[in-house]
Amino acid sequence: MLTGRRALAWVRFTRRRLLAGLGDVPLQPEATPIDEFVGRVWAYAKFGGVLMCCQSYLLDITMCVGPSMMPTFNTVGDIVLCDKLSPRLRRLKHGDVVVCKSPTNVGQTVCKRIVGMPGDELDGFHRDYAWHEQSAVPAGHIWLEGDNRRNSMDSRNYGPVPLALVQSRVLVKLWPLHEAGAVPARKETPATLRYSDSVREPFSTPRVAGASPLAADAVARGAHGGAGGAGGDALRALPRSRAAGDA
C-alpha cells in the first residue's frame, strides 16, 4: 500500500499518462525533492573523488614563495601547475623545476631546479657553502639549486637530495596572468663545470664553512705557502665573519 509522498508521486504519474497518452511520457514517477537532493550530493561526491585522485596522483596546484627562484618566479607567490606523475615514473631531467620536501625539514616544501642527475661528477667547490665533497651524485639522488644562487639554500648547503623527496615537476605558471605560460627546462652546464676557475680550488685547501670569500682567500694563500702571518690573521678573523653571517 502506497502512503504519503510515494502515493502522491504515483497519482501524478498516472494522471500524466492519462492526459498525454501511453508512451508519450516516460514510465517513471517524478523525482521528489529528496531524490533530487540525494542525486545532487552524489554527483558532487563523485566529482570530489575524481578531483582528489587527480591532485594525489596526476596534477597539483602550488604557490611558490621566496626569492630563491628569481627571476623565474617572483617573491610574492606565483601559482604554478605541477605534474606529480613524472617523479613517480623517474622522468626527470637536467633543468626541470621540481617541488620537493626540504631535506632539513620534511614539513616544509621547496622549489628548485635540477642541476645534477645521478652519476654526475661534482669536482668543484664554492667557497661560500658547506658542501665540498669530491664525488658523484649518488644513485637515487639529484643536485638542486635555485635560479637566484646568491640567495638560495639548496644542495650547495645540504648536499644531494633523495629522489624520494621529490613531489612534483612544475609545468605551467598560472599566476600572475601576464606571466602565465609553460616553465621551460633551462639547460644547465654539467656540475663539474658549473663554477669558474676563480672559485674552484684544490680540495686539499683548508676551509671553514660559512667564512666570507675574503677570509677564505686568505686561508688559501696561507695554505699554499703564503705569509704565515696572513694565514694566521685570516684564521683569527673567521669566527667574527661567521658571527656576522649568522646575525
- Regarding whether 70 and 52 lie in a shared domain, the answer is no
* Residues 194, 84, 111, 119, Cα dihedral to 10°: -20
Mean pLDDT, the chain, whole residue set: 70
- What's the average model confidence in pLDDT over 98-124? 87
pLDDT at residue 126, as a whole number: 52
User: At 18, which helix (H) or strand (E)?
Assistant: helix 4-20
> pLDDT tens digit string along 54-79?
777 778 888 988 899 998 998 888 99
- Residue environment code for 36-49, b if the CB has 16+ CB neighbours within 10 A, otherwise e: eeeeeeeeeeeeee
Distance CA 142, CA 147 (A): 16
pLDDT at residue 112, as a whole number: 94
- Regarding whether 153 and 187 lie in a shared domain, the answer is yes
- Regarding whether 30 and 89 lie in a shared domain, the answer is no
> pLDDT tens digit string along 133-185?
556 788 899 999 999 988 899 988 888 999 999 999 999 999 888 888 888 77
- Regarding whether 183 and 82 lie in a shared domain, the answer is yes
Regarding predicted confidence, which is higher, 90 or 238?
A: 90
pLDDT at residue 235, as a whole number: 26
Residue 85 belongs to a domain with what CATH number? 2.10.109.10
Confirm whether 177 is domain-assigned. Answer: yes
Q: What is the pTM of this model?
A: 0.57
CB 117 within 8 A of CB 93: yes
- Regarding whether 46 and 28 lie in a shared domain, the answer is yes
CB 201 within 8 A of CB 125: yes
Asked which of 56, 72, 100 is the last residue of a domain, the reply is 56
Which pLDDT band holds residue 28 (cuts at 50, 70, 90)? Answer: low
- Regarding whether 171 and 74 lie in a shared domain, the answer is yes
Boundaries of domain holding 135: 59-193
Regarding predicted confidence, which is higher, 47 or 193?
A: 47
Domain count, the chain: 3
Q: Which of 46, 86, 102, 112 is catalytic?
A: 112
- Regarding whether 111 and 230 lie in a shared domain, the answer is no
- Regarding whether 209 and 158 lie in a shared domain, the answer is no
Q: For residue 135, give Cα distances in angstroms to 14, 49, 187, 200.
A: 84, 46, 22, 15
- Regarding whether 182 and 68 lie in a shared domain, the answer is yes
Confirm whether 91 is domain-assigned. Answer: yes
pLDDT at residue 133, as a whole number: 56
Confirm whether 247 is domain-assigned. Answer: no
Percentage above 90 pLDDT, the chain: 18
pLDDT at residue 135, as a whole number: 65
Confirm whether 180 is domain-assigned. Answer: yes
112 has catalytic annotation: yes
Confirm whether 140 is domain-assigned. Answer: yes
Q: Quick one: cell of 78?
A: 606565483
- Regarding whether 169 and 69 lie in a shared domain, the answer is yes
pLDDT at residue 48, as a whole number: 84
Angle, helices 213-223 vs 228-246, to 10°: value is: 150
- Regarding whether 93 and 152 lie in a shared domain, the answer is yes
- Regarding whether 210 and 131 lie in a shared domain, the answer is no
Confirm whether 198 is domain-assigned. Answer: no
